[in-house]
Structure 1
Amino acid sequence: MRESKPSVLIIGGGIAGLAAGCYAQMSGMDSHVLEKHVLPGGCCTAWSREGYIFDYCIEWLIGTAPGNEANQIWRELGALDGKEITNFDTFNRVVGEDGREVRFYHDPGRLERHLRTISPDDARRIKSFCRDLRRFLKLDVFPFLKPPPLKTLPEKLAMVREVLPAFLLFWRTSATQMTDFSGRFTDSFLGRALPNVFFQDHERFPLLPYLYNLACAHHGNAGFPEGGSLGLARSIENRYAALGGRISYRARARRILVEDGRAVGVELKDGSRHYADHVISACDGYTTIYRLLGGEYTSPTLDKLYEELLHEPGTLYPGVVSAFVGVDGEPPPETPHSTTFLLSEEDSSRLPGAMRDSIVVQLRSRYWRGCAPPGKSLFHCTYFSDFGYWRELRTRNRREYWAQKKEVADFTRRFLVERYPGVDGRIEIVDVATPTTNHRYTGNHNGSILAWIGFTEADDLVTQLVNRQRMRLPGLDGFSMAGQWVVGGGLIRAASSGRFAVQFLCEELGIPFRAWESPDDVRWRPEMLGHLPQLDVRPMQFTEEA
């Protein structure tokens, strides 16, 4: 019988690291989270300027409705404690260069009627898409609570019974690429708009994730939590502290300490060393394997991922340029909360580092009023962008880097003035973050928010890291990995990976895994965000000409 609690060091205070800490505490361990930044959450963060809160991450959150495994995890982590959830009747709106628009309602009947008014000639394809959406509305077979290797035989059989009736649906919608499906539409605008249901064209996605997320939204299970991204992270941080966990900020890991083939601790950049029975790395995958561990513990799967696929186009989610625009005043109530504007070749060429011919404009103050001062509003404009473009600029010519950020600010200002009446003359602030901004503050490779793109070879290999390698590295005991580089992108997957890592650890230690819902029912308040830093000392300036 152990005389003391098992101790765990966790590298990274993002959602995966915080989740691992919470579940370690609930399972009777003594954990300590080491975070390089001054805030929790990793990419799930926000910063502030002049009373505006620039929410960086959440566009929708799987698990906001009760009665499913994703929601159970958020309740266990206290992530939604005391918060209101905002839901919309549309997932997104897409507007073409000529002003034509389509609204992607998540109600299949309403969506079908709307799409058929836009293109009657595509009625058969529209009916097929909406019929499949109706089928997804009846399903809840996406497990997040337990990794497959730990499921009992009855649990596996129960899962098979749930999945089997929908097997053909899953197979067909995962085998049909959205680009192939949308390319068959007679109406070229509608065909071009469909891949932008998720705001920007993900190119390699099949139909399945579109249908799944639309179905979640229809059930209120893909809403936006009050407090946004940092609010989510702060709530989990509070839950972790209430469970007795410790978190150290400005604690940048230099290397993982290994003795006789076992991870025994972490050395920080300041030279201090922290020791524990087990180490969980919940930070960037490449950094963990090749820098913190010196590349000494790999496998054919890991080598394939990080030495080959990491550098192949279309395998890693691209970086994102974000332009936040604060406006004095509020737009009309009927203003859509989210719109993807398809750009002309000329407009697209004016966006520095742009990878798509589109830009997404979200009225973030419609998601959560607390992100803008009273009587004001906040827009968030984003587009996929090439990390290499921004890294080269920032490394070679910092002045030109700032000039290109200013070009983004000027473009978005003019763009909003042209398309949103009443904005002209009321813009108070523009703040721009690039993929290198993400890289500087989180360490994520190439500034990628979501790591490996789903439904690719990389996604298949990542699944092996959980199902075959149990989130461990060959030849290294006392060590686990968690986070999006192990299970794929998405906040619920990140949180679930922290749960998985602790479940595997509990099995190894021969102790029971325990989890229960947070008892905190205190109404959430904006003050709970705490102090928000400014990412850059000087504010972004923009020209006055529209």
Structure 2
Amino acid sequence: MPDEDDWDSRHRAPGSTPRVIVIGAGIAGLSTGCYAQMSGMRTRIFEKHVLPGGCCTAWSRDGYLFDYCIEWLIGTAAGNDANQVWRELGALDGKTVRNFELFNKVVDEGGRSVTFWNDPARLEEHLLRVSPADARLIRSFCRDLRRFTEIELYPFLTAPALRTVRERAATLRTVLPAFRLFWRTAATPMHRFADRFEDPLLRRAFRNIFFQDPEGFPLLPYLFNMASAYHGNAGFPQGGSLGLARSVEERYTGLGGTVTYRARTEKVLVDNGRAIGIELRNGRRYYAEHIVSACDGHTTIYELLGGRYTGARVDKLYTDLLERPGTLFPAVVSAFVGVQGGLPTEDAHSTTYLLPPAAAAELPGALQSSLVVQLRSRYSDGFAPPGKSVVHCTYFSDYTYWKELRHSDRKAYRARKREVAAFVRRFLERLWPGTAERIDLVDVASPATTRRYTGNHNGSILAWKAFSDADDVSADLVGKDRMRLPGLSGFSMAGQWVGMGGLIRAASTGRFATQYLCEELGLPFRAWESGGTTPWHPGRLGQLPQLDRWSSREGTGA
């Protein structure tokens, strides 16, 4: 029998199956491992952190669970390709899904509000009450939303370069009848559409359907995601972000894979233009026939590979677009609030509050004049101890502000985080009088926190911004370059720095990378649903890190 435990050997044992090393146990890395295992390869994942998931994570504080990532998950309803990917990865096994009737609510400084119901008819009726003068635009938006509810287009199963004639024809049958709709809504920037409203609240509210204004998005993603939510296909899975990651990790290890935590990769070993292994920070070397990097793109290209393998597309992304304003999805400040007792049942699960300039100026590093308040206890069980609740407050923020502050003056850095905590306390007290005295703790995570724990460049959770100049370049990396780098064989990249932001896109890049690798190795690509039925419970999250011990007392997070 060939030796299957040969990761420290440059040469694979005769008769053994191909070895694949994956760098990073985020959703893309775990997905790559799952599909490679299903397709007959042997894999090992090396992760620098103590948890799977990357940004799809959570942490614990005094019995509260602070869920960091998922706000909605495409693919929670049966019968579409996105859901098939999650079923194959075991992500939804044994879980219930919470669906909400509204996508988000927006409230202005004077208390006027707009509720973005997922149901087009209900939304239209509500918006017409808010501003009868804007009837034409309102009906136009809701008419488009109705059309999107009739379209299912989730191209997440087959890598672009490997799609068959039949698959391409099926896509055309979906796209062609709605081509003008796709073209028009993709070519119309939301800010330009919103500026046409007479009502000043609607002009601002439409920009914030996605909680805050991502700036530069056209109408299409708003309509697509609201239509998905209408069908229950953009829900919140039980267990939340870390629960999703743990389920995929369980699926991976059940397929025979191994995750090594606290294992930071320092370099990819290359011999004669071929990746042959990795070297960890502790000096240990591991070898494989193929290496997949599913971590931060800039780190991969310029640190792990020393910047030796680039080309026109890689240079375009990482020397031209990376620091260009509006190319990366903004970083976020998160303030988790643990509250004794319940929260107002009449309030929406998610609300964007538009702030007056003076109030917005009190939020350190804020990029926009708004604060998002989400009642996370309504999303899933287990996020708060019995009889208590969790509120998650967020705002887009400048990564450089936090990075430089933390680097130059750690005391001032912690002081700014206490300012965030104090602002949130005051805000929630004004919103719900009597709340301040019920607050157990406020835990603040800055963009610098995201960078420290995940390695994501500039603390950007979603990497490249969709519909930016990076979108087409990234698509070519996946379709034309097959997720490879020029001049380097035996190496692939997966994740959001290749396939754009969003968890289903991250998961699909693992599928695509494996499909390309199977074609190269002459192996059949195989995938099947996990079929797990064990009911989910919070105990399956495992031991949770406390991040920085000092912070729970100061209420400033990691």
TM-score interval (norm. to shorter): over 0.9
Partner of residue 5, structure 2 = none
Counterpart Cα distance in 1 of 2:85 and 2:433: 42
Partner of residue 154, structure 1 = 166
Displacement of 1:152 after TM fit?
Answer: 1.2
- For 1:14, give the aligned amino acid: G
Q: Report the secondary structure of 2:53's partner residue.
A: coil
Q: Report the secondary structure of 1:356's partner residue.
A: coil
Partner of residue 415, structure 2 = 403
Counterpart Cα distance in 1 of 2:554 and 2:137: 45
Q: Residues 6-405 of structure 1: matches in 2 within 5 Å?
A: 6-405=18-417
Q: Report the secondary structure of 1:247's partner residue.
A: strand
Correspondence for 1:534 among 541, 546, 550: 546
Counterpart Cα distance in 2 of 1:186 and 1:540: 47
Counterpart Cα distance in 2 of 1:18 and 1:155: 26
Displacement of 1:158 after TM fit?
Answer: 2.0
Counterpart Cα distance in 2 of 1:316 and 1:492: 18
Counterpart Cα distance in 1 of 2:468 and 2:127: 30
Displacement of 1:542 after TM fit?
Answer: 6.9
Displacement of 1:82 after TM fit?
Answer: 0.5
Asked whether 1:490 is paired with 2:502, we answer yes
Counterpart Cα distance in 2 of 1:540 and 1:530: 20
Deviations 1:429-483 (A, max 9, x none): 1100000000001110001000000101111100000111000001100000000
Report if aligned partners of 2:61, 2:552 keep a CA contact under 8 Å in 1: no
Counterpart Cα distance in 2 of 1:540 and 1:252: 27
Partner of residue 478, structure 1 = 490
Q: Report the secondary structure of 1:471's partner residue.
A: coil
Report if aligned partners of 2:29, 2:495 keep a CA contact under 8 Å in 1: yes
Displacement of 1:520 after TM fit?
Answer: 1.1
Correspondence for 2:516 among 495, 498, 504: 504
Counterpart Cα distance in 2 of 1:536 and 1:379: 21
Counterpart Cα distance in 2 of 1:62 and 1:123: 30
TM-score, reference length from structure 2:
0.96
Counterpart Cα distance in 1 of 2:393 and 2:64: 15
Counterpart Cα distance in 1 of 2:102 and 2:235: 11
Report if aligned partners of 1:35, 1:250 keep a CA contact under 8 Å in 2: yes
Counterpart Cα distance in 2 of 1:185 and 1:289: 45
> Is 332-341 or 399-408 further displaced after alignment?
332-341
Counterpart Cα distance in 2 of 1:189 and 1:141: 32
Counterpart Cα distance in 2 of 1:342 and 1:154: 48
Report if aligned partners of 2:239, 2:381 keep a CA contact under 8 Å in 1: no
Report if aligned partners of 2:214, 2:330 keep a CA contact under 8 Å in 1: no
Counterpart Cα distance in 2 of 1:541 and 1:238: 33
Displacement of 1:3 after TM fit?
Answer: 2.1
Counterpart Cα distance in 2 of 1:336 and 1:48: 25
Counterpart Cα distance in 1 of 2:335 and 2:553: 12
- For 2:176, give the aligned amino acid: L
Displacement of 1:540 after TM fit?
Answer: 4.9
Counterpart Cα distance in 2 of 1:9 and 1:308: 30
Deviations 1:119-143 (A, max 9, x none): 0000000000000000000101221
Counterpart Cα distance in 1 of 2:316 and 2:369: 31
Displacement of 1:161 after TM fit?
Answer: 1.7
Displacement of 1:365 after TM fit?
Answer: 0.3
Q: Report the secondary structure of 1:355's partner residue.
A: coil
Report if aligned partners of 1:430, 1:541 keep a CA contact under 8 Å in 2: no
Correspondence for 1:432 among 429, 432, 444: 444
Aligned length: 543
Change beyond 3 A, Cα 1:541–1:352: farther
% identical aligned pairs: 64
- For 2:343, give the aligned amino acid: P
Deviations 1:283-338 (A, max 9, x none): 00000001100111001111011001001100001110000000000023222111
Q: Report the secondary structure of 1:379's partner residue.
A: strand
- For 2:306, give the aligned amino acid: G
Partner of residue 466, structure 2 = 454
Report if aligned partners of 1:320, 1:435 keep a CA contact under 8 Å in 2: yes
Counterpart Cα distance in 1 of 2:443 and 2:432: 19
Q: Report the secondary structure of 2:138's partner residue.
A: helix
Displacement of 1:203 after TM fit?
Answer: 1.0
Counterpart Cα distance in 2 of 1:526 and 1:142: 30
Displacement of 1:428 after TM fit?
Answer: 0.4
Displacement of 1:396 after TM fit?
Answer: 0.4
Q: Report the secondary structure of 1:370's partner residue.
A: coil
Counterpart Cα distance in 2 of 1:382 and 1:332: 19
Counterpart Cα distance in 2 of 1:160 and 1:369: 41
Counterpart Cα distance in 2 of 1:416 and 1:366: 17
Counterpart Cα distance in 1 of 2:166 and 2:62: 56
Partner of residue 537, structure 2 = 525
Report if aligned partners of 1:179, 1:203 keep a CA contact under 8 Å in 2: yes
- For 2:438, give the aligned amino acid: R
- For 2:506, give the aligned amino acid: A
Counterpart Cα distance in 2 of 1:33 and 1:421: 49
Counterpart Cα distance in 1 of 2:218 and 2:225: 12
Displacement of 1:165 after TM fit?
Answer: 0.6
Counterpart Cα distance in 1 of 2:395 and 2:368: 7
Deviations 1:472-517 (A, max 9, x none): 0011000000000001000000000000000000011111000000
Displacement of 1:424 after TM fit?
Answer: 2.9
> What 5-or-longer segments of structure 1 have no aligned partner?
none
Report if aligned partners of 2:124, 2:142 keep a CA contact under 8 Å in 1: yes
Displacement of 1:422 after TM fit?
Answer: 4.0
> What 5-or-longer segments of structure 2 have no aligned partner?
1-13
Displacement of 1:47 after TM fit?
Answer: 0.3
Report if aligned partners of 1:69, 1:144 keep a CA contact under 8 Å in 2: yes
Partner of residue 3, structure 2 = none
Report if aligned partners of 1:257, 1:267 keep a CA contact under 8 Å in 2: yes
Partner of residue 466, structure 1 = 478
Change beyond 3 A, Cα 1:416–1:542: farther
